[in-house]
Amino acid sequence: MDVLTVPPVTHAQARVDLAAVRHNVSLLAEHAGGAELMAVVKADGYGHGAVPVARTCVAAGAARIGTALVTEAIALRDAGITAPILAWIFTPGERPDEALRRDIELSAGALWAIDEIAAAARRTGRTAKVHLKVDTGMSRAGATLDDWPALLQHALAVQAEGSIEITGIWSHLACADTPENPVNERQLAVFDQALRIADKAGVSSGVIRHIANSAATLTLPAARYDMVRPGIAIYGLSPAPRHGDFGLRPAMTLVARLSSVKRVAAGAGVSYGHTYVAERATTLGIVPLGYADGIMRAGSNRLEVLAAGRRRRIAGRVCMDQFAIDLGDDPAEPGDEVILFGPGDHGEPTCQEWADQLGTITYEIVTKIGGRVPRIHIGGR
Ligand SMILES: *Cc1c(COP(=O)(O)O)cnc(C)c1O
């Protein structure tokens, strides 16, 4: 990584290290064994920038790209991503024509979805590539085992007309972040049963079978099948923190520059509600990021950042656009860089530490970093 290529921080930036993404993809590919890797870049690449991340993952060996929404998949295609893309959320009334014209694969877990996709195929003259979704116990999208034979029959009938091609059968695990949970084995058993039913119904053996998210890719070899679908681990965040970091490297460093530094007298109340009061005369630094940028208000008087060489707790309430830190008598100037979280290399908190402090998961923190924070990609090739 060439430091000189890093654009200067204006008020703040989310620095995304694509070399870390490459490292994580290689590590996941090792865990995947012979299974293909689908890099999940929904929600703007978990807040990291979907297009540069997708490009990096494909260059690092990911065979496919996964998104939640059809619109996300379309944006990737229009940005020049040529790898196969699957979008798995499909809502009634959605017109998948644009997706089919861009060779985007879709998921169907109900009869109406097959019908809507087939109608779009007829309108566009394309054959829709469809992954049939079975609900093995997550109780989110997909056909339950009871409804599965009817879904298969319908899909096969529509396939015979040439409107769709069944290219995958898939499901999603509810408890993969606790590998010891017996629910995982139960879901895999239901998945195997669904695959046997599909085989008997005459679905060709060439379909891609997939169920594993990051946690399953790293901890449940039996869940690999033909393809794995890691998301969070690509970004270097552990999908099962109680089981360690798996050698993943966090890609995002969130930095900002102090917008104000000033002395205040003992007894000064800080920010809304004066929930922090300076015990003695001190220096306050203002960080120009707030809850509108994804710095959760629950982090008031709780989260730490690295500023002027030390960890400092957020002082007082997080506002919409800024928060304060108490610098004591340490020297600091407006424009000094503050690291909110990162890989931890410089003593800064990690996203995992923030998640633990907030009682949430890292997924929520990185996906909430707002649109006002520029994403700067470094370590690209
Ligand atoms: C988000 C998502 C993934 C990736 O999950 P991670 O826990 O981030 O690895 C995989 N599959 C589906 C269906 C998802 O919604």
* Number of domains forming the structure of the chain: 2
Work out the average pLDDT over 306-329.
98
- pLDDT tens sequence across 182-212: 999 999 999 999 999 999 999 988 999 999 9
How does pLDDT run across 213-244, given as a tens digit for each residue?
999 999 999 999 999 999 999 999 999 999 99
364, part of any domain:
yes
> Identity (one letter) of the amino acid at 359?
G
pLDDT at 1: 42
Q: Which class for 287: exposed (0-12), middle (13-18), buried (19 or more C-beta within 10 A)?
A: buried
What's the angle, vertex CA 100, arms to CA 94 and CA 101, rounded to 5? 120
Same domain, 221 and 320: no
Cβ–Cβ < 8 Å for 297, 323: no
Residue 300 sits in the same domain as residue 341: yes
214 CB near ligand 1 (under 6 Å): yes
262 is catalytic: no
Write out pLDDT tens, residues 98-152.
Answer: 999 999 999 999 999 999 999 999 999 999 999 999 999 999 999 999 999 999 9
Compute φ and ψ for 128, nearest 5 degrees: -80, 130
pTM for this model (two decimals)? 0.96
140 is annotated as contributing to ligand binding: yes
Q: Is residue 243 part of a domain?
A: no
Beta pairing, strands 64-67 & 164-170: unpaired
Cα(41) to centroid of ligand 1, in Å?
9
254 within 8 A of 373, measured Cβ to Cβ = yes
Specify if 245 maps to a domain. Answer: no
Examine the domain organization and report whether 230 and 259 are in the same domain. Answer: no
Q: For residue 78, is it within any domain? A: yes
Residue 42 Cα to chain centre, angstroms:
6
The reply to whether 22 falls in a domain is yes
Using the 3D structure, point to which of 237, 260, 292 is the last residue of a domain: 237
Same domain, 179 and 286: no
- In this structure, the answer to whether residues 193 and 306 fall within a common structural domain is no
Whether ligand 1 lies within 6 angstroms of the CB of 230 is answered as yes
Judge whether 12 lies within some domain: no
| Domain match, 257 and 321 both | yes
Strand locations in 104-251, DSSP E? 104-108, 128-133, 164-170, 208-212, 227-228
Percent of the chain past pLDDT 70, that is, above it, reads: 98
Amino acid at 331: P
Respond yes or no: is residue 276 known to be catalytic: no
Within a domain: 325: yes
Do residues 56 and 170 share a domain?
yes
Ligand 1 pocket, 379 CB below 6 A?
Answer: no
Structural domain of 43: 18-237
Distance of CA 231 from the midpoint of ligand 1 (Å): 5
Q: What is the CATH number of the domain that holds 270?
A: 2.40.37.10
Query: 228 and 292: one domain?
Result: no
- Residue 105 belongs to some domain of the structure: yes
Q: Are residues 73 and 217 in the same domain?
A: yes
What tokens does 131 get? 């992954």
| Residue that finishes a domain, picked among 211, 237, 263 | 237
Q: For residue 59, what pLDDT is reported? A: 98
CATH code of the domain in which 53 resides:
3.20.20.10
- Do residue 292 and residue 193 come from a single domain? no
Residues 222 and 292 in one domain: no
Query: Ligand 1: which residue has its CA nearest to atom 15?
Result: 68
* 317/231 same-domain check: no
Examine the fold and report which residue of 172, 205, 237 is the final residue of a domain before the chain moves on: 237
Ligand 1 neighbourhood includes 133 CB (under 6 angstroms): no
- How remote is the CA of residue 37 from the centroid of ligand 1, in Å? 12
Other beta carbons within 10 Å of 374: 14
